[in-house]
Amino acid sequence: MISMFKLILLIILLTELETLVILRLYRPINRSSFPFNRYLFTIALLLITIGSLTFAIIKFVLIFHQQFQLSKLYLSCIYIFLFCSLLESIGILFIFPYLNRLKLIEQQYEQNRQEKQVDIRRVFSLAKEERSLMLIGSFFLFIESAIDIVTIILFGQIIAFALKYESMHSVNVTILIYFGIDFINCICSFLNSWLFDLAGQKMIYRLRQNIFNAIIKQEIGFFDENHTGELTNRLSSDTQVVQTMLTGNIALLIQNFIHIIGSLIVMFYLQVTLTLVLISIVPIVILIATIYGNIIENLRQQFQDKLAEANKTAEESISNIRTVRIFGSECKIIDRYKQNLMKSFVIGKKLAFNDALFTGVTGLLTAGTISVVIWYSAKLVHDKKLSTGILSSFLLYLIQVAVAFAYLASLYGEFMQTVGASKRIFYLLDRQPKIPSTSNESCSIEPTDFDGSIHFDNVSFTYPTRPEQQILTNISFSIPPGQKVALVGPSGSGKSTIASLIERFYEPQSGTIYLGSYSLASINPQWLRQNISFVNQEPSLFACSIRYNISFGLDPNQVSFDDIIRVAKQANSHQFIEEFDQKYDTLVGEYDHHLSVARALLMNPKFLLLDEATSALDAQSEYLIQEAIEQF
């Protein structure tokens, strides 16, 4: 009755305190009474928990000294009530420092209110579509873990039967039962392993696809600020870390949690005092694990960032190996990569030290507690108060609990590491492109009367990576339809920038760009790409066939092979292609400028942009491409 009354009071007080905290964070007005109410509720909570703990201690002392003949179940309830009251008091004490940090949390919330926070719960949400597979796998995992607990009881019975009876009949029957349930255990182990692994493969497939979709839709300025090596690192290593945690580690978490709970229940039934001694270290381990998890989360995020920098250096060096070789800078690049690796190595050493320290401290606490338990159990056997069979089962449960706690401790650290590594993943998934790549409410117009004219009206622009350097300042000009216009000027004067603005790779800081009579910002981006083609200074082709590269801008099902041949002839590349053995199915080689022009012509654009498309060609090739452009 007292426990029920206390539970009702705690629920009411904690609910009211939670409401006050939420109002404090999310409603910045009418908060003058918060300090008084906060102290009122916390003092009430403290009085209730202290009273409950005092009552439990007095009851325990009275029963212990008076030596009442009570059942094991009643004694177990008394011990559990005392232990839970102690945990409850410790938990209430932890409220005070967190309430004192409320003001700092409020300030951080104001600064980061636009950012979604990343925690273990949100990381788990990545596997929500595989929830059914994981639930079925958890069912078989539960059966497997329950069988692990039952087999220990059978093992104790086998020892007891062997010592008690001269005949082996009881031992043989128990062994057969043991083999039968172990066979079921193997089947359940196969099913849960297969289901969790399958869920992991499905999750990482979907996660990588979603991340790639999010990356590919970002504006060009995003790729100026984020290097290719960093982004590919998110797709490869970071997603692998998340998969390992959400599938493999979550199965271990469930299994070890069941082992701990089930073993403790049986151990309480077998010997209450020994079990209480064992679980006395739980609050200390939880406190240490919390501190360790916070440290590891920050270090893991730093480690992944430094590793991404090293990958960026490697990617740049390998992709520009000709430049490296021309200047004989192999040693310079090797040293640069080594320095970047050293940064991640330094953080890796901190990770290793903290991991070893956490393992050592928890191992020391566990070893000390187990030593006390073993000594006391040996004393009980010596005093004829505990049978050998029960002792054997209890010690096996003790080992199982110790191993499970060790696994949980390491898994907690890995969970925190995954949270740190997943922050960059969620940054990519949450980020909305500043310039949309598809139609939306603000850019959905598809002009039917566009004649190819373009007008710049007082346009100013700076690149996102160089905001202090003004590239264009109040530029105004018009390009009439049906004309060929050349922009002439020194390097860095903004010629390529104007072409990029017409393609809407970037947004101008001020001014407006018009296509016909419509603002460029109001036009459907997909319609824009279909009606304006762009051949830049260094055209990029994909490692696919010539046919694929020429038809890249259109749906392959809507492009005939005759059209591909036609634009290849216009770009003066058909003759070269026919000399290959596989002709248009040949993988792309050196004729990239010709193919890039053919690719642009196949779009049949109303406006064609050429950004020094022939600057890297010899005179003959330049003449052929210029001839193709004249025919456009």
The mean pLDDT values, 10 residues at a time, for the chain of 632 residues are 60 62 52 54 68 70 62 67 70 61 51 54 79 86 85 76 73 81 87 88 88 88 81 80 80 83 80 71 69 73 78 77 72 84 85 80 75 77 74 77 74 70 81 84 83 88 85 89 84 84 89 88 87 78 81 80 84 80 76 74 82 66 67 62
Which residues share a beta bridge with 608? 533
Amino acid at 480: P
Q: Are 476 and 236 in contact (CB under 8 A)?
A: no
In the block, which residue shows the tokens 């009474």? 33
**Strands 454-461 and 472-479, bridge-based pairing:** antiparallel
CATH number of 453-522: 3.40.50.300
Dihedral angle computed from the Cα positions of residues 575, 577, 583 and 587, in that order, rounded to the nearest 10 degrees = 180
Residue 551 confidence (pLDDT): 84
Residue 461 confidence (pLDDT): 92
Q: Which CATH superfamily is domain 524-632 in?
A: P-loop containing nucleotide triphosphate hydrolases (3.40.50.300)
| Domains in the chain: boundaries | 1-114, 119-430, 453-522, 524-632
CATH class of domain segment(s) 119-430: mainly alpha
pTM: 0.66
Residue 12 confidence (pLDDT): 64
> Residue 583 and residue 575: Cα distance in Å, rounded?
10
> Residue 123 and residue 250: Cα distance in Å, rounded?
12
Residue 604 confidence (pLDDT): 81
Burial class (CB in 10 A: 0-12, 13-18, 19+), 343: middle
Give CA 235 to chain center in angstroms.
Answer: 10
Residue 30 confidence (pLDDT): 46
> Residue 229 and residue 233: Cα distance in Å, rounded?
6
Fold match between domain 119-430 and domain 453-522: no
Which residues share a beta bridge with 609? 534
